[in-house]
C-alpha cells in the first residue's frame, strides 16, 4: 500500500514536471522559430524598399535572397545571391509558391513573399538555412538538456518520496502493530468467555447463553480477519507461483458451500471451463474464491448465485461471481473494497459480516498482481470479476 502511494506520488509529480518541461521546450522553440520568421520579414521589408516600381533591378543588393519581377506584359527581371540561388532554382521556387496558392510561406529553408502590384508581380525569396540549422541545433540541445534534467529530477523526486512517505509509513506501522497487539490481547479473554459460555450451556441452555456464544464466534472471526490484514500489510507472503489447475481449485471451493447454500435455500450455479492451468499461488486462489462465494451467499436476494470461470488471452483466467441484490447502489462500487464498509448494516448483523472480507480479497489480489473489480447494477445485482 505504501509503495503504491509512493509510486502514485512520484507519477503525479513527474507528470506535472513533464508538462512544465513540454511548455518550456515549446516556448523555446517558438521564440527561435519566431526569430527566423521576423528575420525573413525584415529581409522582405528591406528588399521592397530597394525595389522601385517599374525601375530596373540592376545594382540592388539582395544578400542571401532573390527577387523576381514579372511585368504585366510577362517580361521577367531577376536578381539573386549566387551563393544561395541560381536562376533555375528561383524560377522553380516561384512555380511552387504559385502552386501553393499562398502569398507568404516556406519551401524547405526558403521563406517567400509574393506581392501583386498593378504594373507587376514581385516574388521575393530569402534563404534561411543558417538560421534553420541554428534552430535545429538549439532544439536538439534543449531536448537533451531537458531530458537530462528530467531524468535527474526523477531520481531526486524518488528519493524525496521516501522522506515524504516516512511519517505515513511510521504511522501505518504503528497502526498495524496496535491492531496486531490488540487482537492478540483480545483473543485470551475472548477464549475464556467462549469456554465459560460452553460450560454454562451444558448446565443451562437459554437464548442469552446462545447469544454470548454466537457473538463470541463473530468476535473471534473479526479478530482473525484483522490479524490477516495486519499481516498482509506488514509484508507480502511468500507466494508459490507454480502451475495450478484453477478449475479444480475453484470447483472444490464452490462444492464446500453446497451444504450452506442448501441451508439458506439457495443454489450455486457454476459454469467452469475445465482444466484451466496457470501459474498462481494455490492458497491465494482458495482464499479469494472462498471470500467471494461466501459474500454472495450472505447478500444474495435471489435463490441463485452464478459462478463463472473462463480462460482469456495471455494465459489468464477470469473468475466472476454474480448475485442479485437490492441493497447495493452504483456508488457503492467505489467503496465496496474499503475496510469495514457495509452496504447494509442490518444485513451484516444477520449474517455476522464484519466488512473485512472484500478488503482481504482486494489485498490478496494486489499482492498477487491480479485485478479484482465490482460491477453494480443499481438496486438489482452485483458482479465481482477477478482476473488471475
The domain that holds 318 is classified in CATH as: 3.30.565.10
Query: Residue 41 falls within a domain, yes or no?
Result: no
Cα–Cα distance, 299 to 274 (Å, whole number): 28
Query: Residue 354 falls within a domain, yes or no?
Result: yes
Query: Residue 281 falls within a domain, yes or no?
Result: yes
Inter-residue contact 326 to 380 (CB < 8 Å): yes
Question: What is the domain extent for residue 74?
Answer: 53-127
243 plus 374 within the same structural domain: yes
Query: Residue 122 falls within a domain, yes or no?
Result: yes
Query: Residue 252 falls within a domain, yes or no?
Result: yes
Domain boundary among 90, 110, 127: 127
pLDDT-based confidence at residue 347 (cuts at 50, 70, 90) = very low
Domain boundary among 127, 162, 193: 127
pLDDT number for residue 152:
92
Cα–Cα distance, 131 to 31 (Å, whole number): 13
119 plus 252 within the same structural domain: no
How many domains does the chain divide into?
2
Q: What is the mean pLDDT of residues 204-215?
A: 75
Cα–Cα distance, 78 to 125 (Å, whole number): 11
Cα–Cα distance, 99 to 123 (Å, whole number): 13
> By CB neighbour count within 10 A (0-12 exposed, 13-18 middle, 19+ buried), where does 385 fall?
middle
Cα–Cα distance, 254 to 294 (Å, whole number): 9
pLDDT at 235 over 60: no
Query: Residue 40 falls within a domain, yes or no?
Result: no
H-run or E-run covering 64 = none
Closest CA to 127 of 30, 26, 47, 31: 47
Cα–Cα distance, 40 to 62 (Å, whole number): 12
Domain boundary among 79, 95, 127: 127
- pLDDT tens for 16-29 read 999 998 998 888 88
Q: What is the mean pLDDT of residues 295-322?
A: 85
121 plus 249 within the same structural domain: no
Query: Residue 208 falls within a domain, yes or no?
Result: no
Q: What is the mean pLDDT of residues 246-274?
A: 87
Q: Provide the whole-model pTM.
A: 0.51
pLDDT at 351 over 70: no
Inter-residue contact 372 to 361 (CB < 8 Å): yes
Estimate the crossing angle of helix 207-234 against helix 129-203, to 10 degrees.
150
Query: Residue 361 falls within a domain, yes or no?
Result: yes
Amino acid at each position: 500500500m505504501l509503495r503504491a502511494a509512493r509510486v502514485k506520488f512520484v507519477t503525479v509529480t513527474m507528470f506535472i514536471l513533464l508538462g512544465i518541461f513540454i511548455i518550456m521546450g515549446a516556448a523555446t522553440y517558438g521564440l527561435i522559430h519566431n526569430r527566423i520568421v521576423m528575420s525573413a520579414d525584415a529581409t522582405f521589408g528591406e528588399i521592397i524598399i530597394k525595389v522601385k516600381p517599374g525601375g530596373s533591378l540592376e545594382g540592388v543588393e539582395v544578400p542571401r535572397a532573390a527577387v523576381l519581377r514579372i511585368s504585366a506584359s510577362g517580361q521577367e527581371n531577376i536578381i539573386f545571391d549566387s551563393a544561395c540561388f541560381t536562376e533555375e532554382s528561383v524560377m522553380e521556387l516561384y512555380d511552387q509558391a504559385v502552386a501553393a496558392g499562398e502569398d507568404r510561406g516556406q519551401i524547405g529553408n526558403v521563406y517567400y513573399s509574393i506581392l501583386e502590384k498593378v504594373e507587376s508581380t514581385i516574388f521575393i525569396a530569402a534563404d534561411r538555412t543558417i538560421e534553420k540549422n541554428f534552430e535545429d541545433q538549439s532544439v536538439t540541445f534543449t531536448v537533451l538538456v531537458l531530458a537530462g534534467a528530467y531524468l535527474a529530477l526523477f531520481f531526486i523526486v524518488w528519493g524525496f518520496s521516501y522522506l515524504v512517505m516516512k511519517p505515513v509509513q511510521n504511522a501505518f506501522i504503528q497502526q498495524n502493530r496496535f491492531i496486531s497487539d490488540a487482537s492478540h490481547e483480545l483473543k485470551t479473554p475472548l477464549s475464556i468467555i467462549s469456554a465459560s459460555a460452553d460450560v454454562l450451556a451444558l448446565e443451562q441452555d437459554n437464548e442469552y447463553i446462545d447469544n454470548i456464544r454466537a457473538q463470541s464466534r463473530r468476535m473471534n472471526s473479526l479478530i482473525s480477519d484483522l490479524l490477516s490484514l495486519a499481516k498482509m500489510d506488514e509484508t507480502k507472503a511468500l507466494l508459490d507461483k507454480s502451475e495450478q489447475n484453477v478449475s479444480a481449485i475453484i470447483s472444490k471451493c464452490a462444492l464446500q458451500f453446497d451444504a450452506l447454500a442448501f441451508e439458506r435455500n439457495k443454489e450455486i450455479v457454476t459454469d467452469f471451463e475445465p482444466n484451466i492451468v496457470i501459474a498462481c499461488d494455490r492458497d491465494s486462489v482458495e482464499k479469494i474464491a472462498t471470500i467471494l462465494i461466501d459474500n454472495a451467499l450472505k447478500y444474495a436476494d435471489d435463490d441463485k448465485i452464478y459462478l463463472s470461470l473462463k480462460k482469456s488471452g495471455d494465459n489468464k483466467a477470469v473468475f466472476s461471481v454474480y448475485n442479485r441484490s437490492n441493497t447495493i447502489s452504483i456508488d457503492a462500487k467505489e467503496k465496496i473494497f474499503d475496510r469495514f464498509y457495509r452496504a447494509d448494516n442490518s444485513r451484516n448483523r444477520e449474517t455476522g459480516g464484519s466488512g473485512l472480507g472484500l478488503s482481504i480479497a482486494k489485498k490478496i489480489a494486489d499482492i498477487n498482481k491480479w485485478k479484482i473489480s465490482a460491477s453494480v447494477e443499481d438496486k438489482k445485482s452485483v458482479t465481482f470479476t477477478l482476473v488471475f
